[in-house]
Amino acid sequence: MAADDPLPPDRPVLRKTAAGGGGLSVRDLRVSYGPVQALRGVSLEVPRGSVVAVLGSNGAGKSTLLRAISGTLRFHRGSITSGGVEYADGPLSGLDASAVVARGVTQVPEGRRVFGRMTVAENLRAGTLGVRGRKAAAAAREHVLELFPVLAERAGQRAGLLSGGEQQMLAIGRALMAGPQVLLLDEPTLGLAPLMAERIADTVRKINSEGTTVLLVEQNAAMALSLASHAYVLEVGEVVMSGPAGELAASDEVRRRYLGESDEELTAEDAGDGEAPARLVLTRWSA
C-alpha cells in the first residue's frame, strides 16, 4: 500500500491509553482555522513523567494539537470549537500562551524557530522572560549548557549562523529555560542528518529521565516509537490508533505506513524461520 493510500474505513485500532492522573489530558478536542476543521474530536493522555508520541503524515493535525495545548492557536488564526485540555487537573484551554508556560507547559515549535539575529545567549535569555527569578534563570542556563555544551561555545554567536542541529538544540534549550514540567516537541528531528537526529533523541531521553514529561509530535515514526512509552496515530484530524509504542512498532499497518516497510518485507518476515514478530490483539476504537 502506498504511503498516501486511504486507510480501510473499518480498520482495527489498538487499546486506548490509560488516563494519567495529574498529567496532560486532551478531551474530545475540535479545532478549526476558519472553515478548515483541523482536529475532529481528539482525545489523548500524557501521564506525568512519560514520553508520548503522536505520529501522522503531513496535514494530519499534529502541529495544531500542540498549538491548542500551548495556547498559540490564535497566532495562526485557529480556535478550539469544543473539547479542551487539562493539566494537573486544571484547565489549560482558554489560557493565553504565557499563562500556559507559567503553568509548566512549554512548546518547541516546528522548524527550529530561533531569533536568528540574536546571539545564542540572548535566545536563551528570551526563554526566561516573564517566567522566573534571576537565581532560577541562572540554574536553568547552567542545566541547558550542560545538556548542550556547544551552546556555551557559541554563546556570543548569532543564532542564524548555527547549523540546523545546533539551532534545534538552541530551540529546545530556550524552552527548557522556562523550567517546564511538560515539554511539547514539534518534529525535533525534521531535516536533520541521522547522527544529529540520534543526538537530539538521546537528549530527549535525558530530559525525560530528569523528570520532564514529553509530548513528541513526529513524522519520523521509528525515532518517536523508540523514545515513547505510548503513541497515537493521527489521520486527518482524528486518532486512528493508539497503544504502547512497542506494540505499535510491531503492527503491520504502522510498519507499512510509517516505518516504510513493504508488503514483500512483511510477508517474507511472516514466512521466515525466525521468531514470529509480536502480534497484536486489536480492538476497535471506541472513544
By the criterion CB under 6 A, which residues form the site for ligand ATP? Answer: 33, 36, 38, 56, 58-64, 76-77, 110, 219
Rounded distance, CA 108 to CA 112, Å? 8
Residue with grid cell 541562572, as numbered in its chain: 138
Cell numbers of 238, please? 482524528
Show the beta-strand stretches assigned E in the chain. 24-33, 36-46, 51-55, 79-87, 90-91, 105-108, 182-186, 213-218, 230-235, 238-244
**Nearer Cβ to ligand ATP (44/124):** 44
β-partners of residue 80 are: 31
Least distance from ligand ATP to the Cβ atom of residue 236, Å: 8
Q: Are 68 and 93 in contact (CB under 8 A)?
A: yes
Least distance from ligand ATP to the Cβ atom of residue 201, Å: 18
Number of Cβ within 10 Å of residue 55's Cβ equals: 28
Least distance from ligand ATP to the Cβ atom of residue 188, Å: 13
Least distance from ligand ATP to the Cβ atom of residue 74, Å: 11
Query: Do the bridges between strand 182-186 and strand 105-108 make them parallel or antiparallel, or are there none, so unpaired?
Result: parallel
Q: Which of 41, 45, 16, 17 is nearest to 29 (CA)?
A: 41
**Nearer Cβ to ligand ATP (32/212):** 32
Q: Left if phi > 0, otherwise alpha if psi is -120 to 50, otherwise beta: which for 81?
A: alpha
**Nearer Cβ to ligand ATP (47/61):** 61
Least distance from ligand ATP to the Cβ atom of residue 232, Å: 12
Least distance from ligand ATP to the Cβ atom of residue 63, Å: 3
β-partners of residue 79 are: 32
Residue with grid cell 525535533, as numbered in its chain: 188
Query: Do the bridges between strand 79-87 and strand 51-55 make them parallel or antiparallel, or are there none, so unpaired?
Result: unpaired
**Nearer Cβ to ligand ATP (124/172):** 172
Angle of helix 134-147 relative to helix 164-176, nearest 10 degrees, comes to 150
Rounded distance, CA 16 to CA 84, Å? 18
**Nearer Cβ to ligand ATP (62/141):** 62
Least distance from ligand ATP to the Cβ atom of residue 276, Å: 33
**Nearer Cβ to ligand ATP (86/110):** 110
Least distance from ligand ATP to the Cβ atom of residue 139, Å: 33
**Nearer Cβ to ligand ATP (76/206):** 76
**Nearer Cβ to ligand ATP (144/223):** 223
